[in-house]
Amino acid sequence: MADEPDSQLLASPLQLFNGIAAQGERVRALKDAKAPKDDIDSAVKLLLSLKMNYKATVGEDYNPDCPPGTLAPGTKGGQEDCEDFVDPWTVRTSSAKGIDYDKLIVQFGSSKIDKELINRIERATKQRPHRFLRRGVFFSHRDMNQVLDAYESGKPFYLYTGRGPSSEAMHVGHLIPFIFTKWLQDVFNVPLVVQMSDDEKYLWKDLTLEQAYGYTLENAKDIIACGFDINKTFIFSDLEYMGMSPGFYKNVVKIQKHVTFNQVKGIFGFTDSDCIGKISFPAVQAAPSFSNSFPQIFRDRTDIQCLIPCAIDQDPYFRMTRDVAPRIGYPKPALLHSTFFPALQGAQTKMSASDPNSSIFLTDSAKQIKTKVNKHAFSGGRDTVEEHRQFGGNCDVDVSFMYLTFFLEDDDRLEQIRKDYTSGAMLTGELKKTLIDVLQPLIAEHQARRKEVTDEMVKEFMTPRPLSFHFQ
């Protein structure tokens, strides 16, 4: 049954919603260009037809301010559905607690990472589950049981994750998929490919090709500083690798042939005004999901399944990939989805590289970390000490506590902090100091490791080459 969402994807309410937006833009463009009346009338007729189809599917009139997510046909919409909206570029919620991930699992049609699956990972690896699994940071999956079936019977898989390099400095939220991917690489002892989508950032942002590639090299140093095994890890720039790898480019073209313009408009919300580079990019992000995109690693094998740890907002790319895979003769990639890392100002706001106070950056000094947490971290505490002692704080909205769930390893201590803060025994200032004491050494140690990463090391990680692994 796990395959159903892939086949239903292209008929989703979100596709209709985005199609209406695109058609509306087309009507406006025709009117602005003073196009022939027949052309305008035809476009308006199609727009009205799409809106009628939308109402029949969703049960409500089209509202441009309220995307439906991927609600099942016939599901009633309404204000609740306006609260959370997730796609690869937009994460929006009106709740101070952040996105409702149980709802998102239903909307995206993925599967919850439950205790049974976590126990199975523990049995397979003979290692204690990572804190991100224990605490639900990685909360959703596609076909992870299938990956474990293969692993337990001695069949291979490989890891694929990525980074869109949009600035020199990464923040702590960017580390989450890499911290977890390193753990997966260690416990399963499998190869890893890391895509640096510098082509994507060139297409979406006001960057030159040289700037985008420069950010790739800088971000690669932070990724390497996470401790990946150079003998099992290949980091590649799209701008560089696609030009030297026929296997990779052939897969891009195969994917492009099997996805229509209407489909990418429906999945990603592209409009007629978007450059064709954006429209074709999803095929580039999909290609590393197939092992023969890396002939230097896997030769011409096409049967090696890929496991992709990523934030849930990247899932639309891989729903498209999973829909295409059987049609071009490849196994569907499996996925592990993480929650979103909250901005300092609260889980309903978005971190921004252009706002240095929205997160803790990997370049921040101990003093900057202390100042940012004390000054900007949204508090779940009460207005006065007296009220806080009486009623306690709210860990569900307190950003300092949220950050501790990501970075404090000790489960017992984290639970004690939760109890003390909720009861009022711990004040907001004390909670913030606890977070500062965790973050300052973590960032300092990362900075020390990064200093040891030379340009030669980056070049070695990014050189296409065989990796060290033992597959049957």
Measured CA to CA, the distance from residue 55 to residue 73 in angstroms comes to 10
Q: Which residue has the higher pLDDT, 445 or 101?
A: 445
Query: Above 70 in pLDDT, residue 222?
Result: yes
Query: Above 80 in pLDDT, residue 3?
Result: no
Q: Is residue 465 part of a domain?
A: no
To the nearest 10°, the Cα dihedral for 255, 260, 264, 266?
A: -140
Query: Mean pLDDT across the stretch 26-40?
Result: 81
Q: Indicate whether 32 and 116 sit together in one domain.
A: no
Question: How many angstroms from the chain centroid is the CA of residue 9?
Answer: 18
Which amino acid type is present at position 425? A
Q: Which residue has the higher pLDDT, 344 or 87?
A: 344
Q: Is residue 446 part of a domain?
A: no
To the nearest whole number, what is the mean pLDDT of the chain?
A: 88
Q: What is the count of structural domains for the chain?
A: 2
pLDDT (tens digit per residue) in 323-348: 999 999 999 999 999 998 998 988 76
Q: Indicate whether 135 and 49 sit together in one domain.
A: no
Q: Is residue 463 part of a domain?
A: no
Q: Indicate whether 193 and 268 sit together in one domain.
A: yes
Is residue 397 within 8 A of residue 378, CB to CB? The reply is yes
Q: Indicate whether 264 and 145 sit together in one domain.
A: yes
Query: Above 60 in pLDDT, residue 89?
Result: yes
* pLDDT classification of 6: cutoffs 50, 70, 90: very low
Q: Is residue 429 part of a domain?
A: no
pLDDT (tens digit per residue) in 9-28: 334 676 677 778 778 777 87
Is residue 351 within 8 A of residue 171, CB to CB? The reply is yes
Q: Indicate whether 93 and 206 sit together in one domain.
A: yes
Answer with the one of 308, 326, 345 that is the final residue of a domain. Answer: 345
Query: Above 60 in pLDDT, residue 233?
Result: yes
Q: Indicate whether 270 and 308 sit together in one domain.
A: yes
Question: How many C-alpha atoms does 262 have within 13 Å on its Cβ side?
Answer: 6
pLDDT (tens digit per residue) in 270-328: 998 999 999 999 999 999 999 999 999 998 899 999 999 999 999 999 999 999 999 99
* pLDDT classification of 353: cutoffs 50, 70, 90: low
Q: Which domain holds residue 106?
A: 87-345
CATH number for the domain that contains residue 258:
3.40.50.620
- Phi then psi for residue 303, to 5 deg, are -100, 5
Q: Indicate whether 40 and 142 sit together in one domain.
A: no
pLDDT (tens digit per residue) in 126-152: 999 999 999 999 999 999 999 999 999
Q: Indicate whether 246 and 143 sit together in one domain.
A: yes
